[in-house]
Structure formats: structure tokens, C-alpha cells
Amino acid sequence: MLDKLKEIEKAALESLAVVSDQSALDAWRVANVGRSSPLMQVFAGLGKLSKEEKPVVGAAANQVKIVLEAALEEKSQAVKNAMLAKSLAEEKLDVTLPGREVNIGRLHPSTQQLRRVLSILAEMGFQVYTSREVESDEMNFQMLNFAPHHPAREMQDSFYIDVDPSAGSGSREDNPILMRTHTSPGQIRAMREASANNPQNPPPIRIALPGMCYRYEQITARSEIQFNQVEGLAVGEGITFADLKGTLTDFARRMFGHDARVRFRASYFPFTEPSAEVDVECFVCGGKGCQVCKNSGWLEILGSGMVHPNVLQNGGYDPKRYTGFAFGMGTERQLMLRNKITDIRYFWGNDVRFLDQF
Ligand code: DAH
């Protein structure tokens, strides 16, 4: 019996030696010191032993039990320590690692430029008016003095969106719907809104019309199918070309710097007469001539002119009494000049490396 106890102790300690986690430890406990373990069987069998054997075997069995329980306690502590060490190692925090970069969103460069332009015009007394991006052919062209077959329409090949060949619509003689090709139709809408309330005596207008325009273009480094424009319109009594020159010169100085030189070049637009394009002295080379200004020393920044009498009429203003001037500029173009961006496709290409720089 004493030999058997020695066996039990030896086997138990050996199997405990290879236990390394909690579940194996629990299994070991059941198998070695549990109710039906060999050791407990010895205790259960004590009654069948002789008077002389009983105390000897009982004492020896108790001794084995003490040894095994002590070993269990020690192992239990070791397993706990090992688990703690493992989780500490796994969850180790390296406080010397650089932090994760936080990406801060920002306004699109075009929106930033649009707001720059609008805030300058607002300082100069222009009120912002937003007009629709989906227009009728009538507003986009006809009311602006483009006749149905006016050659100027060729400059603005358009996205028509209600072309229905079976109904015979979509021809330019009808009034199809299109994406506006410029912000100028907003002139008509703003004038009509202002004149509708008081047809006999419509109020003076000084407005800025910002927004996206669309043209059916081949997308290249120099042309895109969408771009932002800001349109300006002033209508009232006694407005002259001198007002146009003064206003646009002031605008250019506020936009490009106080000593910016500007020049007006005669041009043609169907909705203005006379018409002029405005150049600013090249701010890259200071007018000496460089790649950006193509050696001319000047950069074209906008189109302008005195509002054509037909356009005033279409807006509900009597051209015998009222005059006005208008101008329109592309905001991406201004940014390209300002930042020497050579490819307009960057603007809508959604490349964060480009957008991040603004
Ligand atoms: N609408 C013209 C364009 O898209 C720009 C323009 C020129 C607007 C002259 C005007 C203007 O108001 O007077 O090319």
C-alpha cells in the first residue's frame, strides 16, 4: 500500500509538471485530488485495512495529499503569473511610437477661391445670388441675345438633358433643358425677380452669381467639362463704362495686390455691348514675359461689358432708362494662374496629394 502511495505521488507530480494553463490544471485537480482520484480511493479503503496498517497508511496518504495540494497551489500561482505576463506582453503599449495622423478636412481649393472672390465683391457692395445649374436653353442662350443659330453658341457646346428624338425636341429652336454653360443666365433670373415687384420702377441691382458651369468639352490639361464661375451684374440709372472700369480695376487690385496693373481689351459677347476682356499684369514675371503669361506679360482674368439693351429688356428693365455692366470669371483659372497649376484636371481628379496643398 505504501508503495502504491509512492506511485500515486510520483505519477501525479509528473503529470503536474507539464501542466501550463488553467484548464489543464482544473483537469489535473479532478484527476489527482478529486473525489474519485486514486489517492481518495486509498482514503476510502482505509476501513478495510488491519488495525496496525490503518494508521501507517493513513498517515502516509495524508502526507501525499499535503504534498499534492502544496504542489497544486504552487502550480496554480505559476499558471496565473504566466497568464499575466502573457497578457502584459501582448497588450504592451509602446509610448515612443508616433501618434496616428489625424486627417483634417478642408474646403476644396475651388470653393476657397470662390469664397475669396465673393468676399471681395461683397466688400464692394455686391449681394450674392445663387441661380440654378439646370437651365433652359431660353435662359442660357436666347434671353442673353444668342439667336438660335448664333455662332457664339459654338463656343459652348452643351449638355442637353431632355433630348427626346421621338418628340422632335432637343433641337435648338425648341427650349430644351441643359446644364448651364455659364453663370450669365442668372442675370436674367435676378433682374426678373427684382423687376417683377415693381415693373414701372425696378430697383438698382448689384449682385454676384457664383457656381458650377458645364460644357461638353474634351477633357484635357486646359479644358474641363465643369468649372466654377462668378458673374457680376450691376443695373441702375446712369451706370457707365467708367463704372465698369473702376469696379473691375478695384476688384483686380483687391484680388491680385494693390499695385496690380490691369488693361481692358475690346472683345465680343452677345449679351454685352461694348464688350471687353480684362487682363492683369502677369504676377509671375511682373510683366517681363514668362511661360505662365506666354511671354505677353499679361494674364486674362475675366470677360465683361455693358449689358446689351435686349438683355435689360428681357430682364424687365427699360433700356432707355437703365444701363448696367456685367462680368464673368473662372475661379479655377485664377487659382491656376496664382499657383502655377498646369493641369486643370487636378481640380476634379480627387487626388488628396493635390487637394492637401491648399
Ligand atoms: N459668360 C461668359 C463666358 O462664360 C463670361 C462673361 C463675359 C460674362 C462677359 C459676362 C460678361 O457677364 O459681361 O465665357
Q: How confident is the model at residue 73 (pLDDT cuts 50, 70, 90)?
A: very high
- Is 145 close to ligand 1, i.e. is its CB under 6 Å away? no
Helix or strand run (H / E) with residue 82: helix 53-90
- Is 300 close to ligand 1, i.e. is its CB under 6 Å away? no
Percent of the chain exceeding pLDDT 90 equals: 63
- Is 153 close to ligand 1, i.e. is its CB under 6 Å away? no
Are 79 and 19 in contact, with CB atoms under 8 Å apart? Answer: yes
pLDDT value, residue 164:
57
pLDDT over 70 at 163, yes or no: no
Are 209 and 230 in contact, with CB atoms under 8 Å apart? Answer: yes
Close Cβ partners of 62 (under 8 Å, ≥ 6 residues apart): none
What is the C-alpha end-to-end distance of the chain, expressed in Å? 90
Report which protein residue has its CA nearest ligand 1's atom 3: 182
According to CATH, the topology of domain 109-355 is: BirA Bifunctional Protein; domain 2 (3.30.930)
Write out the DSSP string of 209-272.
EEEEEE------SS--SEEEEEEEEEEETT--HHHHHHHHHHHHHHHH-TT--EEEEEEEETTE
- Is 185 close to ligand 1, i.e. is its CB under 6 Å away? no
Q: How confident is the model at residue 169 (pLDDT cuts 50, 70, 90)?
A: very low
Please give the backbone phi and psi of residue 257, each rounded to the nearest 5 degrees, phi first: 115, 150
Q: Which residue has the higher pLDDT, 30 or 161?
A: 30
- Is 303 close to ligand 1, i.e. is its CB under 6 Å away? yes
- Is 228 close to ligand 1, i.e. is its CB under 6 Å away? no
- Is 327 close to ligand 1, i.e. is its CB under 6 Å away? yes
Of 56, 61, 54, 49, the residue nearest 4 (C-alpha): 61
Report which protein residue has its CA nearest ligand 1's atom 5: 328
Neighbours of 179 (CB within 10 A): 19
Q: How confident is the model at residue 190 (pLDDT cuts 50, 70, 90)?
A: very high
pLDDT value, residue 198:
92
The per-residue pLDDT for range 38-58, each reduced to its tens digit, is 989 888 888 898 999 888 889
Of 271, 280, 265, 266, the residue nearest 306 (C-alpha): 271
pLDDT value, residue 323:
98
**pTM to 2 decimals?**
0.73
Ligand 1, atom nearest to 272 Cα: 13
Domain boundaries, given as residue ranges, for the chain: 2-90, 109-355
pLDDT over 80 at 199, yes or no: yes
- Is 269 close to ligand 1, i.e. is its CB under 6 Å away? yes
Name the residue of 214, 231, 307, 312 whose CB sits within 8 Å of the most ligand 1 atoms, as the mutation to test its pocket. 231
The per-residue pLDDT for range 244-255, each reduced to its tens digit, is 999 999 999 999
pLDDT over 90 at 340, yes or no: no
Place of cell 431632355: 162
- Is 308 close to ligand 1, i.e. is its CB under 6 Å away? no
Q: How far is the CA of 355 from the centre of ligand 1 (A)?
A: 28
Ligand 1, atom nearest to 229 Cα: 4
Q: How far is the CA of 328 from the centre of ligand 1 (A)?
A: 4
Here the cell at position 50 is: 488491519
Q: How far is the CA of 326 from the centre of ligand 1 (A)?
A: 8
